[in-house]
Amino acid sequence: MTNVNTLPRRELGVEFGDLAAQIEEHSYPLTSEELVAEFGEHVLELPNGTESVREILESVGAETYESPTEAQQALFNMVDSRAIGRKYYSDRTPPALGESRNHQSLSF
């Protein structure tokens, strides 16, 4: 049976890999210091590089996470700009010089 509370392994461009399950299985509450001590060397894959849990949380003060979701959300909130695909990209602005877009209308 699948646990509906399982954290995603990949979300918003961040690949958690095995860390998602490890965060899920850890006991809570968990402090940011404990999170770094336990998982600090784990490396997250980002669209434009990698970053360790230690690097992500190095500037976080003393925080306490009450659930796996809160711990994962803290990592999302603090992840480096390398998690962003194309910086400053918007599909709502006109194409940049030399860029073409194929627009398809959606009909319902």
Residue 30 CA to chain centroid, in angstroms?
18
DSSP state, residue 107: -
Where in the chain are the domains? 10-83
Q: What is the pTM of this model?
A: 0.62
Write the pLDDT tens digit of every residue in 76-102: 777 754 455 455 455 566 666 666 666
pLDDT in tens, 2-11: 444 455 565 5
Helices (H), 1-108: 19-25, 32-39, 53-57, 68-78
The residues, ordered by sequence, that sit 6+ positions from 91 with a Cβ below 8 Å of its Cβ are: 101
Average pLDDT value for the chain: 75
Each residue of 38-53: pLDDT tens digit? Answer: 999 998 887 777 888 8
Reported confidence tier of residue 64, pLDDT bands at 50, 70, 90: very high
Tokens of 88: 């400053």
Q: Residue 23 and residue 7: Cα distance in Å, rounded?
A: 8
